Amino acid sequence: MKKFLKMSLVLIVSVVLVLSSGCTKKAANEAGSNRLEEIISRGYIEVVTEPYFAPNEFIDPSKSGSEQYVGSDIELAKYIAEKLGVELKIVPLEFTAVLSSITEGKYDLAVSALAYTPARAEAMIMSKGYYFAENAPGYGLLIRKEDTDKIRNAEDLADKTVVAQSGSLQELFVNEQIPEYKEFKRVSATTDGILMVEEKKADSCVVSIPMAQLYIDANTGSGLAIVENFEFEVDKELSGTRIGMPLGEDELAEKINEIIDEVVSSGQYEQWYEEYTEYAKKLGL
């Protein structure tokens, strides 16, 4: 009985805190303050990310709490918090929830290797690009080594099962650049799609080539390979990894773009990306 009362009390307190938080945000909005001012006033910024996309964001299992979330994007989030003079709170979510939470205004920023798409640009503010990978591979197809002679491009997937992360740029490639396929399966994380190919539950996964290569290098017995001499076409004018923000928060967007200009012009983000690529390799990701 005591345990039940204790659990009930915890639940009541949690509900009160949530309602209180909602009232505080509502009051701030009614007062006419913008999100940037709210962030500075409350003393912390909430950043959502899907921590399964090395080297941008991933988990170091040797650490705990918020310290377990590492990667080049996490360093960018830390830098943003530092420049604003506030605490950073990382909120890990599935990728589709990362997107919806920003469009609904639940959190301040989405820093999760976001690529530009027209649909996202209508649903949220997208920052300037901060990583362009101009001399690095883009997006391609992950397959089993045994199928290297059968799958050499998107046209070879007509009788195959394809998998991609739901809500991602990779899903857009499936819809727009794969002429025909037998079945298309959506997953919450690209790593799940990679495992499906490895376990023969799918024939090919649409992937970020550097991310997939990290997996192959760390799992030499996986029997996986990336299709050679094939990449999906990306509009260069819309390229670049970006930060997502709720619509209408122009002041916040302006400040974030200023910070992005700093880390891009100084080469700092590129340095973080290289650093965490090596970090991920050491963890065997």
The predicted-structure confidence for 135-167, as pLDDT tens digits, reads as follows 678 899 999 999 999 999 999 999 999 999 998
What type of residue is 111? V
pLDDT at 18 over 60: no
Task: Name the 3-class secondary structure at 113.
Answer: strand
| pLDDT value at residue 135 | 66
Report the C-alpha gap between 72 and 68 in whole angstroms.
13
pLDDT at 129 over 70: yes
Report the C-alpha gap between 284 and 214 in whole angstroms.
8
Closest CA to 263 of 82, 126, 131: 131
Closest CA to 83 of 237, 251, 264, 258: 258
Least confident of 73-77, 184-188, 217-221, 226-230: 217-221
pTM of the model: 0.75
Residue 251 CB partners (closer than 8 Å, separation 6+)? 34, 35, 36, 37
CB 188 within 8 A of CB 179: no
| pLDDT value at residue 239 | 79
